[in-house]
Amino acid sequence: MLASAASGQTVLRSEHFAHYAQEFNRAFPEDLVNAIPDAQAAEWMQRNTPLFTCPDPDIERTWYYRWWTFRKHIKQTPDGFVITEFLRPVRHAGVHNTISCALGHHLAEGRWLRDRRYLDEYLNFWLRKGEQGGMQRHYHQYSGWTAWAAYERWLADGDTKYVTSLLDALVSDYQQWERDRQLPGGLFWQYDVRDGMEESASGSRKNKNARPTINSYMFGNAKAIAAIARLANKQELALMYDAKAVRLRELVEQQLWDQDARFFKARLDTNQLASVREEIGFTPWLFELPEPRHGFEAAWKQLMDPEGFFAPYGPTTAEQRHPAYGIHEVGDNCQWNGPSWPFSTTITLKALANVLNDYEQSGISVDDYFKTFGIYTRSQTLRRPDGTVVPFIDENLHPQTGEWWARALAIKKGQFTARGDHYNHSSYNDLVITGLVGLRPRADNIVEVNPLIPAGRWDWFCLDNVPYHNTTLTILWDRTGRKFGRGKGLVVMAGGKPIARSPVLRRTTGRLN
């Protein structure tokens, strides 16, 4: 179950990166301990996580910080391992302080760990524990893309027996969403707060809007259930969920696309499209819902527009040109009408990677991806009163200053509890693997790599010890061949043996034995 990390280290050595865990242990007091204490962090990371090095020290440090902090959220319970969102107990959590909102992000990040127990038991908790595990009450408290994330995990690990064992529970889950949230016309509605996005620019906690989020999630879930059903040789079920996905795609394209604004928007409970563009309009591409060549990709021009979503610590969650945009000091500390949220930035970056990989368009580029990823990286810091800067992740950011905004407001209001410290509501390392370095998980035995790094920007990088399809991958770029001694160019290795090479950074494929 737990493979030896040492056997997968082809180029890099885990002991050379142990100093990061030691640095983070010194930087933060350990006032709450879950399954793996800080004293065991370095050893746990050496056994479990891929290794990464690159010329950008901020990206490299954030990579190891995010594994260090993900480990802090692994909690052993009588119901098995779970992954928490907040380290400290919060009132809106369910059993074991669990919240389902970021479940999809947890599965994306955790699929690259070598110990399978964490995600196996976490999925069992949500999908098989019934009332005790929280499926009826707390799992459906937030919309999400669980089936899609479970299938994406299978694309990485190839464990068909496990993913097909989830099929009945995933179908039951989808049917429950249809009963609870499907409108007569076929779209799904959701309160913004139950999308995890309280007090958005287009709604409130009481508006039953057909949002791009939940409808994209349900499209992705239907596609995933169809794919898993085929793995289980249940062809009729697969066809049924294929049809559900096709219908949802049609409805989203027809009813949530604003042709004048060139953007996907929420359809309000008044049956009018929202007047504001919101970052959730990029969500359909997380699941490749928009059909290519229909012009929907024009929406991505807004990402880099300073009047749209671009900001020094963005993207913003609402377009800045709109009167509803704001960074307010009154009301809820967690508003989604302007502040930048790592939860949404993760979705946007993953969606953008899909656009750059699978769509022919001219509205956005690899340079834009690299710039946005760099902003996301450098947003994940905290400046302390003495001026020192440490890696850090919290709830949301002031997009112009980089200040952790909910944290700042809580301090100002005398309500600070440090609840957002090391907040596990987003992913980062999955973005490095599947976007920046460009491993594109597939169902077949072809390893596809397409780094989203502009030509001439980096002379080298190495991603090592990546568990994939019952082997271990190494992906490296060495412009001169002198950094790693494995030859010039882009090299993909499986089990320590080269399976693909390219003299330049471009889409490259190799075949597993």
| H helix or E strand, kind and range, residue 171 | helix 167-181
What is the predicted pLDDT for the residue at 10?
A: 85
Query: What mean pLDDT is predicted for residues 472-500?
Result: 97
Q: Indicate if the pLDDT at residue 136 is higher than 80.
A: no
Count other C-beta atoms under 10 Å from residue 131's C-beta. 10
Query: What mean pLDDT is predicted for residues 316-329?
Result: 97
pTM listed for this prediction: 0.97
Tell me which residue of 252, 216, 361 sits closest to 300, measured CA to CA: 361
* pLDDT tier for residue 130 given thresholds of 50, 70 and 90: low
Mean of all residue pLDDT scores within the chain: 95
Say how far apart CA 226 and CA 220 lie, in whole Å: 10
Query: What mean pLDDT is predicted for residues 383-402?
Result: 96
What is the predicted pLDDT for the residue at 22?
A: 97
CA–chain centroid gap for 307, Å, is 25
> CA 64, 79, 213 angle in degrees (round to 5)?
60
> Would you list the DSSP string of 434-502?
IIIS-B---SSSEEEE-----TTT-SEEEEEEEEETTEEEEEEEESSSTTTSS-SEEEEEETTEEEEEE
Say how far apart CA 346 and CA 372 lie, in whole Å: 11
What is the predicted pLDDT for the residue at 462?
A: 98
Cβ burial 378-393 (10 Å sphere, 16+ → b, else e): bbbbbeeeeeeebbbb
Beta strands in 154-224 (DSSP E): none
Say how far apart CA 53 and CA 9 lie, in whole Å: 13
What is the predicted pLDDT for the residue at 203?
A: 87
Count other C-beta atoms under 10 Å from residue 57's C-beta. 9
Residue keyed to tokens 């049956």 = 271
Say how far apart CA 25 and CA 422 lie, in whole Å: 13
| Identity of the residue numbered 388 | T
What is the predicted pLDDT for the residue at 138?
A: 65
What is the predicted pLDDT for the residue at 204?
A: 82
Say how far apart CA 274 and CA 98 lie, in whole Å: 32
Q: What is the pLDDT of residues 157-170, one digit of tens each?
A: 999 999 999 999 99
Tell me which residue of 227, 430, 249 sits closest to 345, measured CA to CA: 430
Say how far apart CA 151 and CA 287 lie, in whole Å: 12
Say how far apart CA 190 and CA 25 lie, in whole Å: 40
Say how far apart CA 6 and CA 43 lie, in whole Å: 12
- Are 295 and 264 spatial neighbours (Cβ–Cβ below 8 Å)? no
What is the predicted pLDDT for the residue at 141?
A: 87
In SS3 terms, 234-293 reads as CHHHHHHHHHHHHHHHHHHHHHCEECCCCEECCECCCCCECCCCEHHHHHHHHHCCCCCC
* pLDDT tier for residue 8 given thresholds of 50, 70 and 90: low
Q: What is the pLDDT of residues 262-320, one digit of tens each?
A: 999 999 999 999 999 999 999 999 999 999 988 999 999 999 999 999 999 999 999 99
Q: What is the pLDDT of residues 191-249, one digit of tens each?
A: 999 999 999 999 888 899 999 999 999 999 999 999 999 999 999 999 999 999 999 99
Query: What mean pLDDT is predicted for residues 467-496?
Result: 97
What is the predicted pLDDT for the residue at 171?
A: 96
* pLDDT tier for residue 2 given thresholds of 50, 70 and 90: very low
Q: Between the CA of residue 372 and those of 133, 230, 265, 368, 378, what are the distances in Å?
A: 37, 37, 22, 6, 10
Phi/psi of residue 59, each to 5°? -65, -45
Q: Between the CA of residue 100 and those of 94, 97, 104, 409, 443, what are the distances in Å?
A: 9, 10, 8, 25, 27
Q: Between the CA of residue 376 and those of 24, 206, 336, 384, what are the distances in Å?
A: 19, 31, 17, 19
Q: What is the pLDDT of residues 329-361, one digit of tens each?
A: 998 899 999 999 999 999 999 999 999 999 999
Domains of the chain: 6-436 (1.50.10.10)
| DSSP conformation class of 7 | G
Q: In percent, how much of the chain has pLDDT > 70?
A: 96
| DSSP conformation class of 158 | -
